[in-house]
Structure 1
Amino acid sequence: MTDPIVCPQCHGRCGTRYGRLHLACTFCGGRGVVGGDHEPAEPPPPPERPPPALQQRGWSLLATVVPCPYCFGSGRVPHVDQQSRTLTSLPCTEC
């Protein structure tokens, strides 16, 4: 990280004004400075994979209707084989 410096894109103006409309600078996010805690050159790494369905919001409501979180009550779990690029269906081991 670096010390905060004036944004090289907007020169510290935090964006551009068009009449009453103010558009925030896309480089500094409308702060007017870059560096320190707001370093645009070092974005946070993306997550490795999305969280499991059971940890996502809304599952608790769906769990009242669906008996199994893996096969959703069908008894079969779909699986995509990346090497052969085929879709297979396996019996659910949780039901």
Structure 2
Amino acid sequence: MSDRITCPECNGRRGEQLGPLFLACRFCGGTGWVGDTNEPAERGEQAPPEPPPAWEHKVWLDSWISQRVGCRYCLGTGKVTTIDEESRTMVSAPCPACTTP
């Protein structure tokens, strides 16, 4: 721990006012100071977890949605599309979930 000092990112202003919105400083967490018990390096912040794939979204628990839309993978179109970043091409294929081999 270190001594309590004014936040070097927001200069103690605790954030930034944008019209009616106040955006708290991400470095100090909106306190206006760092050090002592507010040490950003000791927070252990981690990136948020990846969202689930679209076909595992909680909306599919709604029976009305699942009956109207049909297939979770292709949304009833019968095709799935992916973008190959390496070759910069878009590839479409029959949906593996709702088409028969």
How big is the shift at 1:3?
Answer: 5.5
Relative to the length of structure 2, the TM-score reads 0.55
Q: Which residue does 1:44 correspond to in 2?
A: 46
Q: Does 1:68 align with 2:76?
A: no
**Is 1:29 the counterpart of 2:29 in the alignment?**
yes
Helix, strand or coil for the counterpart of 2:69? coil
Distance 2:45 2:29 in 1: 13
CA drift of 1:34 comes to 2.8
Q: Residues of 1 paired with 2:24 and 2:51: CA distance?
A: 30
Once the two structures are superposed, residues 11-33 of structure 1 have per-residue CA deviations (whole angstroms, 9 ceiling, x without a partner) of 7x5638xxxx9x67623132234
Q: Identify, as 1 or 2, the structure richer in helix.
A: 2
> TM-score when scaled to structure 1?
0.57
Structure 2: gaps (5+ residues): none
Identity %: 34
Instruction: Provide the aligned length of Structure 1 versus Structure 2.
Output: 87
Q: Secondary structure at the match of 1:94?
A: coil
The offset of 1:54, in angstroms, is: 3.0
Distance 2:2 2:56 in 1: 38
CA RMSD of aligned residues (A): 3.7
2: CA distance between counterparts of 1:45 and 1:76? 33
